[in-house]
Structure 1
């Protein structure tokens, strides 16, 4: 038992300090919130034929988020792992579906996506700036 504790402590002490204190990217609001906005904007544009995504703006935002995550000490591998994680995708989807439902969006009624999208565009919200009414 002492040998196991010593091995664990040796491993932990050998890790650089940032590796010990760096939170999951989902906990970094300056990354999570804009990424969530991109995901919701895509969902709205997928379900509403009258609204299109602003692809270039979305791409620029995603590149900015990656650069910022790198500045915060996250490696490309850590970022990719977060973005490609099935668990994170499911969590983000559930969060998005909850937000949409709270705003009266119904997957069975595409017009509700349009109404929500138009409202976000009008507010010039983080989601709205990623959308364009056709």
Structure 2
């Protein structure tokens, strides 16, 4: 009896993480990095003197996917999340709020450049994906 109780307890303990895992759209680590990647993309597009560090960006994308897999998310869950228009709009909106909150104004490249240089200097995630000329 003691053995079957221990087996049931072990089964319950090892089963819980799969069910208790938060949805990808609520995983702060993943979402923060996706928002910052979007910020970096917008900054490099809006500022003529800032380029993307593409190899670094690809390496970071692979690392983020590996992190998600290690957290127990399946390939299918990751792909569905990344392909979701609703999630993309949400991430883009968060990036837009960040940009506006940091003084970026559409049509004013100097505001993009200022934030881009600040991000690089502060060594943020977005800054690590950028290179100022």
Which TM-score band (shorter chain)?
Answer: 0.7 to 0.9
Equivalence for 1:107: 106
Equivalence for 2:20: 21
Q: 1:1-134 to 2 correspondence within 5 Å?
A: 17-134=16-133
CA RMSD of aligned residues (A): 1.3
State the distance in 2 between where 1:124 and 1:71 align. 26
TM-score by length of 1: 0.83
Q: CA deviation at 1:17?
A: 4.2
Equivalence for 1:13: none
The 3-state SS of whatever aligns with 2:125 is coil
Equivalence for 2:10: none
State the distance in 2 between where 1:27 and 1:89 align. 14
State the distance in 2 between where 1:125 and 1:66 align. 19
Q: CA deviation at 1:63?
A: 0.3
State the distance in 2 between where 1:104 and 1:40 align. 13
Q: CA deviation at 1:123?
A: 1.2
Q: CA deviation at 1:56?
A: 0.8
Q: CA deviation at 1:88?
A: 0.6
TM-score by length of 2: 0.83
Q: CA deviation at 1:28?
A: 1.4
Q: How many residues align?
A: 119
Structure 2: any 5+ residue segments left out of the alignment? 1-14
Q: CA deviation at 1:26?
A: 2.1
